[in-house]
Amino acid sequence: MIAIAGRERRLKQDRNHSISRQIVTAYPHSLMGLEDLTHIRERSKRAHGQNATVKPRRANRHASQWAFAELPGVVADTAWLNGSMAVKVDADKTSQAGPRCGHTAKDNRPEKGVLFRCQVCRLVLHADVIGARTVALRTLLIPCRGILL
């Protein structure tokens, strides 16, 4: 059992290292914003116990085994060694905030769907694109506050 746990730990470390290497080599000498995934397991709402079917249980098991906290640190170390900088960005409501007008509301994501519809400026885009833009905008503000990984 101990050998399996060690093998699994090394596999996760290797996966995180290869992901960080791909990110840093794709964007050399850049400022990278990473969502702060602290307490992500507690914040995500997933079906548990009797309410979960086989697919959600498998997804829960896979998500709970992933080393969320380790990846940003590995990316930051790899970035630093290659002349880049990585900063943590608050992940709160990134896909609910409009990048044009800044209006943040749950109504911007009707039924928590994949489309973002701003109630103020009427911007319509995929919610993941909106989230990425919000993270990018917050990243540009971070060095002024001095919060580094």
CB 129 within 8 A of CB 122: no
Q: What is the pLDDT of residue 141?
A: 82
pLDDT digits (tens, 9 = 90+) for 54-97: 676 666 666 666 666 788 889 999 999 999 999 888 888 888 88
Q: What is the pLDDT of residue 63?
A: 60
Report the DSSP beta bridge partners of residue 124: 117
Three-state secondary structure string covering the chain: CHHHHHHHHHHHHHHHHHHHHHHHHHCCCCEEEEECCCCHHHHCCCCCHHHCCHHHHHHHHHHHHCCCCHHHHHHHHHHHHCCCEEEEECCCCCCCECCCCCCECHHHCHHHCCEEECCCCCCEEEHHHHHHHHHHHHHHHHHHHCCCC
Count CA within 13 A, CB hemisphere, residue 119. 10
Q: What is the pLDDT of residue 146?
A: 47
Q: What's the chain's length in residues?
A: 149
Q: What average pLDDT does range 24-50 have in this prediction? A: 74
Other Cβ atoms closer than 10 A to 140 = 12
- Indicate the average pLDDT of the chain: 80
* pLDDT(102) > 80: yes
Q: What is the pTM of this model?
A: 0.68
Q: What is the pLDDT of residue 69?
A: 72
- 36 CB-near residues (< 8 Å, 6+ apart): 72, 88, 89, 90, 91
pLDDT, greater one: 55 or 125: 125
